[in-house]
Amino acid sequence: MNKLAPSMLSIDFGHMEEQLMIVAGTGVEIIHVDIMDGMFVPNISFGPPVIKYVKKAIPDIKLDVHMMVQDPSRYFDKIIQLGVDNITIHAEATENLRDDLLKIKDYGIKAGVAISPDTPVSEIEPVLGIVDLVLIMTVYPGFGGQKLIPEALDKAREAKALREDKGLEYDIEVDGGINRENIKDALDAGINVIVAGSAIFGEHTEENAKEFLELIK
Ligand code: DX5
Ligand code: ZN
């Protein structure tokens, strides 16, 4: 089953609770939470206090945390104690990818590995056997509202083929520049978790979320 994970990076933070309730009301089951440190990416987003607030506002929704943070394990404790469902870390952001992923799993939550557009799937092949999710970035991480890089979708195909070859079960998630026009391409490439920020949140959040939920059926 395909899943939709609206990215709250694009939310109107002045109306955060209201906007979260709106997407929750459409049947969305996951919110994608982008944490940026200003080091791994040239932008800073938000951290644990905001996640805590989100959890309080919509306790039943799964929180899919995407850490765009250098040496992410420094923050596992703080984030995981807030009740998040999975943490995805970047292969490019740590010298200890395998250990960091195992640390996440030790907490009893799901672990994901993300690759930026210039990183090949071969880089994460050694950890595919321990992850619950592979996140294919279709833009350079750091900002919402960018244009999808179509070539990056080929990596979803690769991740899918490897999953079959190796008899594994991880989800394949896409993040960056997804809209009504290219969502089918992503699904065709083998993606089953769709992240979308600027295409969902805005003046027509409810209609957008409902439409995307239909498109992924
Ligand atoms: C970008 C973030 C994305 C971002 C996607 O670095 O990881 O999750 O919110 O935004 P859109 O869908 O607008 O490209
Ligand atoms: Zn993201």
Average pLDDT on 106-126 reads 98
Q: Which ligand is nearest to the CA of 196?
A: 1
- Strands 30-36 vs 3-6: parallel, antiparallel or unpaired: unpaired
Instruction: Provide the pLDDT confidence category of residue 63 given band limits of 50, 70 and 90.
Output: very high
Q: What is the pLDDT of residue 114?
A: 99
Q: Does residue 72's CB lie within 6 angstroms of at least one atom of ligand 1?
A: no
Question: Which of 3, 4, 77, 8 is CA-nearest to residue 36?
Answer: 8
Output b/e per residue, 44-56; b: 16+ Cβ within 10 A: ebbeeebbeebbe
- Tabulate helix, strand, coil % of the chain (nearest 5): 40, 20, 35
Encoded tokens for 153: 């979708």
Instruction: Provide the pLDDT confidence category of residue 173 given band limits of 50, 70 and 90.
Output: very high
Residue 122's φ and ψ, nearest 5 degrees, are -55, -30
Q: Does residue 66's CB lie within 6 angstroms of at least one atom of ligand 1?
A: yes
Closest atom, ligand 1, to C-alpha of 145: 13
What digits encode the pLDDT tens for the residues 180-209?
999 999 999 999 999 999 999 999 999 999
Average pLDDT on 73-92 reads 98
Global pTM reads 0.98
User: What is the rounded distance in angstroms from the CA atom of residue 10 to the CA atom of residue 196?
Assistant: 9
Average pLDDT on 70-90 reads 98
The full 3-state SS of 174-189, as one line of letters, equals EECCCCCCCHHHHHHC
Q: What is the pLDDT of residue 190?
A: 98
Q: Does residue 177's CB lie within 6 angstroms of at least one atom of ligand 1?
A: yes
What digits encode the pLDDT tens for the residues 12-26?
999 999 999 999 999
From the candidates 34, 37, 64, 132, give the one annotated as an active-site residue. Answer: 34
64 among known catalytic residues:
no
- One-letter amino acid identity for 104? I
Closest atom, ligand 1, to C-alpha of 196: 12
Q: Does residue 64's CB lie within 6 angstroms of at least one atom of ligand 1?
A: no
171 among known catalytic residues:
no
Report in angstroms the alpha-carbon separations of 121 from 6, 12, 45, 108, 178. Answer: 25, 34, 27, 26, 20
Q: What percent of the chain has pLDDT over 70?
A: 100
- Strands (DSSP E) contained in 58-138 are 62-68, 86-90, 110-115, 133-137
